[in-house]
Structure 1
């Protein structure tokens, strides 16, 4: 069975400020809503006759939160519906379940605060309204946050975990009136605590990663002053962690050391798998419905879609990189899968009859021209459609056009061969996902579609 992947960029948006976080709303009925957070460092204004170098005023960290609606428009499916000026944003996360019947977005900002906003109105005409906030302390930046509702569970105590630039973790609760309270605050790392995350299957356990290269676990039922484990398998700062929302006991971590590691949380002495992605891993996101797919924002090396199936069931020590999205020209920071349903049903189609090579070449050229639509981004020109094909599971995908499968091939000696007989039927199973990614210094948000097709010949 052959696996073929195709990437299509749908829209590119100039965010004006440096973009570092994106999240699709996970609440049912609101999946078309996308939030994007930005972080802009502004030099202080100089007084008359004073050079900027002589100004000792601190830099100002500006932020802007964008709210978008994804619709059916052909050329611009993403429509901005709101922008809010605020302190620079380091992380944004939607609560997976509504609070008081409203979707709620949490933000971690450069003023050391965690803030909540609720979404009001209808899906096509909505806006965010400030709800509440909690200050983590003076002279710190709130660096990350995660909700305890990763599996979409209701009825359990609603909590948030946030990490900060002083190396601390901050456990917060949200009560029925949507007020935010700090329950616990403790020193977890020697330097910046880049990331904190819940174990979605046991929300009494939280994980953290810091610039001290340590990955740690904490039990919040007891005094969380001592970690339940400490791992130093990552050789540089740990900056991304996500518990698997569909598969118990599975954890993904990423680091500046350019490695993605998968862990069985019942044994944190060594990882299940270790994959080198050739870029510092700032964010990791499991696919909301396809449990084997993992999205990685790899900073200097774009965005990767990893197939973790072999590591889950076959004890393989490395994940397979299915596709790379390399159309950003700056640090790949924010990334998320949409829950909008774009899947195609199973298809049965007859294979095209074999045609002479010169006719096939003309057909391929024509189809390539139709595929190659060029867009102008704020920073570069790029091709919208990328196609990749993998005929050997577990091997890296080769950049090869999908329509080559339909015509004659040549063997190593140059002789023509047939891919299939003229009477064969091909069973095609397609899965299509919508993604949003953003990058930092080029101030760009991309919305793109990823399609994976498996084909099998039916004699």
Structure 2
């Protein structure tokens, strides 16, 4: 949605497009050499109702490999509907791991071997509600590596879960009720993974500390609608960001979340926010009906510097490639960063190239 308040910045250049057949809702790039050219796209497709009148939600994990001339589908895995995916920031025993949450109350861990994903372990959450969806996940190790990382998940009943990967098995450590409606997002504060933030459809933004218990240590109601996205900045201590259906991105200092430090109005509701993997001073935002955008985060303001309107119908997924700028010189088009994005009803994945000032010390 473009209007006078949001000029159609178009510095992005589309390199590849792919029709996913099923609706696409997440894109995640592998962060590790030599597989930084690999990414996954998660799918969510509503099927016909089952005999017990429950909703049949189908999914796929699509594994792609990118070169300067080709986008190759390496693998397609039929699953339950995928709600979120995240690669573990550090390798475990020298292997890249992908966490996936789905519509059948499960967290799955896949390992990447020879451009294929192999299911390593799965944890199924027990729940009296048959149609519980696990909506989001985050790994604890973006700042500090561990061979036994923690994972936090959120679900459609408003619950937050904390698990640990121990010897290739998932162990549930804590579960607690956080939100009155769907808990759309949960994420670690990477500087101290004892701390977890969550956001829900009740428009409440919560901070938890597992050392204290399952009651929030801070609560904020500044959002005017459901809180859908969150990301901790691994380079700037105390800084985190949240996004909401109210179309605002909010910047926070976790030492005082009574009031946000700053906010910026976007052209649509937020679904995903990602700090750039290089200097953590740019945000990539999937704004659903309002496109995909790059926001420069200055000490005293945030501003949109790039916009991508190739997705016409619900841009849910967006992620930065971890490929270094010099690795992109052989790709056609101007720019020094690659972005993957996808849209739901378009059933579309796009790979695009653009430019960010990665040398800036603003």
Q: With structure 1 as the length reference, what TM-score do the two structures score?
A: 0.72
Counterpart residue number, 1:295: 284
Where 2:75 maps in the other structure, the secondary structure is strand
Matched, 1:72 2:61: no
Matched, 1:28 2:33: yes
Counterpart residue number, 2:321: 338
Counterpart residue number, 1:15: 20
> C-alpha distance in 2, partners of 1:156/1:264?
29
Counterpart residue number, 1:58: 54
Tell me: CA distance 1:158–1:56, structure 2 relative to 1, closer, same or farther (3 Å): closer
User: Which 4+ stretches in 1 moved above 3 angstroms?
Assistant: none
Where 1:6 maps in the other structure, the secondary structure is coil
Where 1:155 maps in the other structure, the secondary structure is coil
> C-alpha distance in 2, partners of 1:143/1:96?
20
Tell me: CA distance 1:217–1:127, structure 2 relative to 1, closer, same or farther (3 Å): same
Where 1:266 maps in the other structure, the secondary structure is coil
Counterpart residue number, 2:352: 448
Unpaired runs of 5+ in structure 1? 46-54, 346-383, 386-429, 455-459
Q: Provide the alpha-carbon RMSD of the alignment.
A: 2.0
Matched, 1:86 2:75: no
Tell me: CA distance 1:86–1:23, structure 2 relative to 1, closer, same or farther (3 Å): same
Provide Cα deviations, 1:378-424, integer angstroms capped at 9, x if missing partner.
Answer: xxxxxx98xxxxxxxxxxxxxxxxxxxxxxxxxxxxxxxxxxxxxxx
Counterpart residue number, 2:121: 132
Matched, 1:145 2:137: yes
- Conserved in 1, the CA contact under 8 Å of 2:93 and 2:147? no
- Conserved in 1, the CA contact under 8 Å of 2:267 and 2:291? no
Counterpart residue number, 2:199: 209
> C-alpha distance in 2, partners of 1:257/1:155?
36
Q: Which moved more, 1:132-141 or 1:87-96?
A: 132-141
Tell me: CA distance 1:5–1:117, structure 2 relative to 1, closer, same or farther (3 Å): same
- Conserved in 2, the CA contact under 8 Å of 1:5 and 1:453? no
Q: With structure 2 as the length reference, what TM-score do the two structures score?
A: 0.91
Matched, 1:113 2:106: yes
Provide Cα deviations, 1:193-229, integer angstroms capped at 9, x if missing partner.
Answer: 00000001111100000011000000012222x1010
- Conserved in 2, the CA contact under 8 Å of 1:5 and 1:322? no
Where 2:89 maps in the other structure, the secondary structure is coil
Unpaired runs of 5+ in structure 2? 1-8
Counterpart residue number, 2:222: 233
- Conserved in 2, the CA contact under 8 Å of 1:5 and 1:452? no
Matched, 1:95 2:93: no
Provide Cα deviations, 1:58-110, integer angstroms capped at 9, x if missing partner.
Answer: 3310000000111121xxx3111000000000000000111122100000100
> C-alpha distance in 1, partners of 2:199/2:104?
21
Provide Cα deviations, 1:329-368, integer angstroms capped at 9, x if missing partner.
Answer: 11010000001122599xxxxxxxxxxxxxxxxxxxxxxx
Where 2:279 maps in the other structure, the secondary structure is coil
> C-alpha distance in 2, partners of 1:271/1:431?
32
Matched, 1:104 2:97: yes
Displacement, 1:291? 2.2
From 259, 266, 270, the counterpart of 1:270: 259
- Conserved in 2, the CA contact under 8 Å of 1:295 and 1:304? yes
Matched, 1:436 2:340: yes
Counterpart residue number, 1:402: none
- Conserved in 2, the CA contact under 8 Å of 1:23 and 1:336? yes
- Conserved in 1, the CA contact under 8 Å of 2:10 and 2:307? no
Where 2:83 maps in the other structure, the secondary structure is strand
Tell me: CA distance 1:148–1:452, structure 2 relative to 1, closer, same or farther (3 Å): closer
